[in-house]
């Protein structure tokens, strides 16, 4: 498997000490639902204004190493005429891009899905690289139900993830490989651990066969949790132990970073889980950090409310959550930080 030093440097920079990823790659339809739920009109300009508020928040560079953009956003300029990708890059934050075409029903497998978008992907990578992207993301989803996910579904998505990652590295971009076992369902912690382990094993088998450089990629998995419909939810410590155990069994140490998705967890619980994983006194050969969407954005969106005069309040909320998640990525988060005011610092304080 070839080593790609340039890609490795970029991957390591994204997940440098205390840094994680802001996932701002919601499709137009998804972000429209979130805006309209707060009675904010969704237009290209309002979507740009919201994301510009996040990207221009003061003092987040020590906490945010990369931002995943969506096709609309990577082409937009800020209110001052600066391309949003340049706004990020100028602050030392690495821009990335979501490149998959979304999940679609897997033919002949009712209730299961496969991610599409491989057709024409090489040309899209070339364009996105010219627009300023330095990494990319592709998401696959797996549903836990009786008899699901099937081996066929796991293989189809693992193979697509590997083909995407190989094309991504060919074009000089760092691939984020995102196999998400959904929290939806009534399954327990043990079932999630079993399925996630099988998915990760299949993904890395395919990545190896596709000759993807593990040193030049990042993994974006789910944490090991019980399904949202399960009657007995696991403790924060149980989630942390099961998550680290699964990663240790199935993720090679050559991968520089694991950036967890929040998967529908609320912002505080996502922070607590990440912190507990990093607090465990066990070997952790990878950086274990965050690639959160709603868990990083919800407080900021609630404070902003689509009003220009609320931009400072929205930025303060985003700044505070990024600070907390950065601390959690180093095992230094405390619940006391929830009520504490953010103070300008290059790193979270010792707790």
Residues annotated as catalytic are: 178, 220
Contacts of 226 (CB under 8 A, 6+ apart): 187, 188, 189, 192, 232, 233, 234
Burial 198-213 (b: 16+ CB within 10 A, else e): bbbebbbebbeebebb
Enumerate the H helices of 66-210 as residue ranges.
71-74, 84-89, 121-131, 151-170, 189-209
3-state secondary structure of 168: helix
Contacts of 54 (CB under 8 A, 6+ apart): 22, 24, 297, 300, 314, 315, 318
Element (H, E) at 290: strand 287-292
Nearest to 271 by CA among 294, 290, 255, 246: 290
> How far is 115 from 103, CA to CA, in rounded Å?
4
Record the tokens describing residue 254, joined without a space: 């050559």
| Residues pairing with 136 in the sheet | 97, 175
> How far is 297 from 289, CA to CA, in rounded Å?
16
> How far is 11 from 217, CA to CA, in rounded Å?
6
Contacts of 137 (CB under 8 A, 6+ apart): 23, 25, 68, 96, 97, 98, 99, 100, 175, 176, 178, 220
């Amino acid at each position: 498997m070839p080593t790609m030093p340039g890609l490795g440097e970029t991957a390591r920079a994204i997940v440098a000490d205390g840094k994680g990823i802001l996932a701002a790659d919601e499709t137009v339809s998804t972000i429209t639902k979130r805006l309209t739920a707060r009675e904010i009109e969704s237009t290209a300009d309002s979507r740009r204004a919201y994301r510009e508020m996040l990207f221009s928040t003061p003092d987040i560079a020590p906490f945010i190493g990369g931002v995943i953009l969506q096709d609309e956003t990577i082409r937009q300029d800020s209110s001052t005429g600066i391309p949003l990708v340049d706004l990020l890059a100028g602050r030392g934050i690495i821009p990335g891009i979501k490149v998959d075409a979304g999940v679609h029903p897997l033919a002949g497998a009712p209730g299961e899905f496969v991610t599409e978008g491989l057709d024409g992907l090489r040309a899209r990578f070339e364009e996105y690289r010219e627009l300023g992207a330095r990494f990319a993301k592709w998401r696959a989803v797996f549903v836990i139900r009786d008899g699901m996910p099937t081996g066929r579904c796991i293989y189809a998505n693992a193979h697509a993830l590997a083909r995407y990652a190989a094309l991504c590295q060919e074009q000089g971009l760092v691939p984020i490989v995102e196999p998400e076992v959904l929290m939806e369902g009534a399954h327990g912690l043990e079932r999630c651990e079993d399925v996630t382990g099988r998915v990760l094993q299949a993904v890395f088998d395919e990545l190896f066969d596709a000759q993807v450089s593990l040193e030049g990629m990042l993994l974006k998995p789910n944490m090991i949790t019980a399904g949202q419909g399960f009657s007995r939810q696991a403790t924060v410590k149980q989630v942390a132990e099961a998550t680290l155990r699964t990663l240790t069994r199935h993720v090679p140490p050559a991968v520089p970073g694991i950036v967890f998705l929040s998967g529908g967890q609320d912002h505080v619980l996502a922070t607590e889980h990440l912190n507990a994983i990093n607090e465990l006194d066990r070997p952790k050969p990878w950086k274990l950090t965050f690639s959160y969407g709603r868990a990083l954005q919800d407080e900021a969106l609630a404070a902003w409310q689509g009003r220009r005069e609320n931009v400072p309040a929205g930025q303060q909320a985003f700044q505070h959550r990024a600070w907390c998640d950065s601390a959690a990525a180093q095992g230094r988060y405390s619940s006391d930080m929830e009520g504490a005011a953010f103070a300008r610092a290059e790193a979270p304080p010792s707790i």
